[in-house]
Chains A and B, each alone.
Chain A
Amino acid sequence: MGKIAIIAGREFNEHARKKSFIFTTILMPIAFLAIMFIPALMMNVQSDAKHEIVVVDQSGKIAPNMYDTEAITFTTSQTKEEALATDKSGIFGILIIGEDVFTNPSNVQLLTYESSTISIESEIVGQISSIIEREKLSGYNITNLDEILASVQTSVSLKVASLEEGGTAKESSSMLNIALAYILSFLIYMFIFLYGNMVMQGVIEEKSNKVMEVMVSSVRPFELMMGKILGIASVAVTQFVIWIVFILLLGSAAMGIFGVNEMLAATTAAAPLDPATLTAAPAMDSDLAALLTTITDPAYILRILGGFLIYFVGGYLLYAAMFAAVGSAVDNVKDVSNLQLPITLPLMIGLFVMISAMQEPHGTLAFWFSMIPFTSPIVMMARLPYGVPAWEFGLSVALLVVTFVAIVLLAGKIYRVGVFMYGKKPTLKELLKWARYKY
């Protein structure tokens, strides 16, 4: 064990001191936050700019009822020619409303000096539509129309709660679940790939450098392999912990700057949801409440972070051992492609199943692939935010641990033979044959 710790220590030092490590460790959370907050920032910037639109209302009934918004100011003009003749500076465009707009609602034209935006267009369309609707309604001579309209206006906000065993309902936010499921399981996939490859390249480097030859006289190949795998695992965990701290710090700073609402709006914009929710402000508030109760619930945080660490470490160890075995068998990185298939294939399958598991976290497909140890780290991670029965979680982790031990022993045997094999490109079959060699 002592030697494994020394080897792991060297691996940690080598990778954690690299510029690329420091670079990605700092850049990743910044990029992550940028993706989340740039939409919020953009909204702030956008609302500063005023767009002046000259309205030429040939029907005469629309323009008086149009109102300015944060982004748009309406001015009126009698004719199109007059509007075109006015000073163009500061004017976004000319809106021409046809005389027969009440019977022919498509007779509305927007001529712009710069390219139009969806938000301006939908604002104009919304205003004109509601003016026409209202005009038409008033044609029916309903008394107290305004009061009726005010009392009719409704905005539904859906509160979602998941039923826990024992009957207590707990508020949950499916938006948060989807986001977490996707981000965390994808992170696991990425980490396994990234750090597994790091292990493989390290092994190949040691072999082609002949450092291995010097090492094997004082260290058993198995210790060498485990030291490398654990050392790089500690690099990964360090990076992860730095990220969590970083995101928490930056996140709380950002909350202070932008305020909770914009941030939430931004997250919604980032998530692939119906854009209608953007404007449905009351719905946002209840979602926000659910989100806040969820992310401040210690049990939830523990389940997500704990699950992430267990599946990340377990999945990484399982795959890193396979990466190490493959690395030991070849002389340079170019030769790994055909041997890597049994590693990359289950990882890819895991990723595909994960995407469907996010939609149906308790379906048959999601269940089975969250039990198979080669895909469970990715698939189960996508299911965890939705809540998974304890026995499923326990069984999945147990299977992962058992398989990990078996694979590490197998990989250790291949590794032992592989590191002394030079100059030939072995096949998978040969690799498995090596595992049966007497040492």
Chain B
Amino acid sequence: MEELIRVENVTKTFVGHTALDGVSLTIPRGAVYGLLGPNGAGKTTLIRIINRITAPDRGTVWFDGHPLSPADVPNIGYLPEERGLYKNMKVGEQALYFSQLKGLPRAEAVRRLRHWFMKFGIEEWWNKKVSELSKGMAQKVQFIVTVLHEPKLLIFDEPFSGFDPINANLLKQEILALRDKGATVIFSTHNMSSVEEVCDHITLINKSKNILSGSLADIRRSHGGNIFEVEVRGGREALLKALAGAPCTILDSTLGDDEALSLSSPSALKLHIPNDEDIRDVVNIINNSASMRSFREVIPSMNDIFIRAVAGKL
């Protein structure tokens, strides 16, 4: 896939600590790219480097095939995690101000703002002061301002914080719609379920290093650990009988407290089939002695992978 951003061996040191240590990653054009990691891992520093707010000590960032330059900044829209608005300015006036700073001519900015305000149903806020808005309302305005100039690259840092589920969903739809229109999105969050919903690629940064990178589907599959769930008619006894002699291990639900590994029904079991065994053999054995309702690979949640990766147990 064609790349929009390539980060090559980027290192950034602050007095006393290394924020990024030789981080490399590639962000495909048109992807929703999840940038994950525990607090203090270096995500914000990486985002600031991509935004040219700060410069790396070593390494290069490539944007659209050339080294990132100041001319690229107007092509980036950034919604920081810590964000604020001028409290004493009116909403519309303020949105216009930020849009003009992004280089939009005034008339065009007004046209687009009207459009977005209609879309979010907030037209009547135009002449309200920001201090009258709730946190979620202010976030909506900030979101609009971030995407208004239709940049090639959008960076969202915890975009859903402060939103109720309905508005979070609205925002999610808008982010995906922007992606469909051709924007590339970098999405930094701790909320793993939203990562599963919107991201197609991720990078996991821990302790200043890139510890996991790739497409979300590949990562989840490759960290499946060859665990399968099988369900038959007639309960677990029949299944246990059928499995006797099959080339697999039956996993006891009591072995781990991991939610993904727990049994979902009394007629189901989890199995571990080693890599060198043929899955068909196991399926055949079960099939011969019980009536099978389902057989599927257990794909771990991002939450799971995140916790295991950060703990170094991947």
Q: Do A and B originate from a single complex?
A: yes
Least CB distance from B157 to A in Å reads 9
Q: Please indicate the chain A residues that have their CB under 8 angstroms from the CB of B74 in the complex.
A: 218
Q: Is the CB of A438 within 8 A of B57?
A: yes
Q: Is A360 an interface residue (CB 8 A)?
A: no
**Partner of B88 from A14, A218, A420, A438 at Cβ < 8 Å:** A14
**Residues A198-232 near B (CB distance < 8 A):** 206, 209-219
Q: Is A439 an interface residue (CB 8 A)?
A: yes
**Partner of B101 from A14, A213, A218 at Cβ < 8 Å:** A218
**Residues B34-62 near A (CB distance < 8 A):** 51, 53-55, 57
Q: Is the CB of B78 within 8 A of A217?
A: yes
Q: Is the CB of A214 within 8 A of B73?
A: no
**Partner of B83 from A3, A213, A439 at Cβ < 8 Å:** A213
CA distance A439 to B70 in the complex (A): 13
CA distance A215 to B73 in the complex (A): 12
Chain A residue with Cβ nearest B85: A211
Q: Please indicate the chain B residues that have their CB under 8 angstroms from the CB of A7 in the complex.
A: 101
CA distance A100 to B111 in the complex (A): 99
Q: Is B80 an interface residue (CB 8 A)?
A: yes
Least CB distance from A217 to B in Å reads 4
User: Interface 1/0s, chain A 112-151, versus B by CB < 8 A?
Assistant: 0000000000000000000000000000000000000000
Q: Is the CB of B101 within 8 A of A3?
A: yes
CA distance A3 to B85 in the complex (A): 18
CA distance A219 to B97 in the complex (A): 12
Q: Please indicate the chain A residues that have their CB under 8 angstroms from the CB of B235 in the complex.
A: none
Least CB distance from A220 to B in Å reads 8
**Residues A1-15 near B (CB distance < 8 A):** 3, 6-7, 10, 14
**Partner of B55 from A209, A214, A215, A438 at Cβ < 8 Å:** A438
Q: Contacts A211-B86, A213-B84 hold; do A439 and B98 have CB atoms under 8 A apart?
A: no
Q: Is the CB of B100 within 8 A of A217?
A: no
Q: Please indicate the chain A residues that have their CB under 8 angstroms from the CB of B53 in the complex.
A: 216-217
Chain B residue with Cβ nearest A2: B103
Q: Please indicate the chain B residues that have their CB under 8 angstroms from the CB of A6 in the complex.
A: 97, 100-101
CA distance A439 to B97 in the complex (A): 26
Q: Please indicate the chain A residues that have their CB under 8 angstroms from the CB of B98 in the complex.
A: 214-215, 218
CA distance A6 to B78 in the complex (A): 20
Least CB distance from A421 to B in Å reads 10
Q: In terms of DSSP, what is the predominant structure of the interface of chain B?
A: loop
Q: Is the CB of A214 within 8 A of B88?
A: no
Chain A interface, number of residues (Cβ within 8 angstroms):
20
CA distance A438 to B12 in the complex (A): 11
Q: Is the CB of A217 within 8 A of B89?
A: no
Q: Is the CB of A214 within 8 A of B83?
A: yes
Q: Is the CB of A219 within 8 A of B54?
A: no
Q: Is the CB of B80 within 8 A of A214?
A: yes
Least CB distance from B176 to A in Å reads 22
Q: Please indicate the chain A residues that have their CB under 8 angstroms from the CB of B78 in the complex.
A: 217
**Residues B90-122 near A (CB distance < 8 A):** 97-98, 100-103
Chain A residue with Cβ nearest B102: A218
Q: Is B189 an interface residue (CB 8 A)?
A: no
CA distance A335 to B84 in the complex (A): 21
Q: Is the CB of B84 within 8 A of A214?
A: yes
Q: Please indicate the chain B residues that have their CB under 8 angstroms from the CB of A420 in the complex.
A: 54
Least CB distance from A432 to B in Å reads 14
**Partner of A209 from B54, B57, B85, B103 at Cβ < 8 Å:** B85
Q: Is the CB of B86 within 8 A of A210?
A: no
Q: Is the CB of A213 within 8 A of B73?
A: no
Q: Is the CB of A219 within 8 A of B89?
A: no
Chain B residue with Cβ nearest A215: B101
Least CB distance from B66 to A in Å reads 20
Q: Please indicate the chain B residues that have their CB under 8 angstroms from the CB of A14 in the complex.
A: 86, 88-89
**Residues B3-34 near A (CB distance < 8 A):** none
Q: Please indicate the chain A residues that have their CB under 8 angstroms from the CB of B101 in the complex.
A: 3, 6-7, 215, 218-219
Residue picked from A206, A213, A219, most chain B C-beta under 10 Å: A213
Chain A residue with Cβ nearest B101: A218
Q: Is the CB of A210 within 8 A of B97?
A: no
Least CB distance from A15 to B in Å reads 11
**Partner of B73 from A206, A209, A210, A218 at Cβ < 8 Å:** A218
Chain B residue with Cβ nearest A3: B101
Residue picked from B53, B73, B101, most chain A C-beta under 10 Å: B101
CA distance A227 to B73 in the complex (A): 19
Q: Is the CB of B85 within 8 A of A217?
A: no
Chain B residue with Cβ nearest A221: B53
**Partner of A217 from B51, B57, B84 at Cβ < 8 Å:** B51
Q: Is the CB of B80 within 8 A of A211?
A: no
Q: Is the CB of A214 within 8 A of B142?
A: yes
**Partner of B82 from A3, A210, A217, A219 at Cβ < 8 Å:** A210
6 A–B contact pairs at CB < 8 A?
A209-B86, A211-B86, A213-B80, A214-B145, A420-B54, A438-B55
Binding site for A on B (CB under 8 A): 51, 53-55, 57, 73-74, 76-80, 82-89, 97-98, 100-103, 142, 145
Task: Report, nearest first, the 10 A-B pairs whose CB atoms are least far apart.
Answer: A210-B84, A217-B78, A209-B84, A213-B80, A210-B82, A211-B84, A218-B101, A213-B82, A218-B102, A217-B51
Known: A14-B88, A217-B53. 10 other contacts (CB 8 A): A14-B89, A206-B86, A210-B82, A212-B84, A213-B84, A214-B145, A215-B101, A217-B51, A217-B73, A439-B54
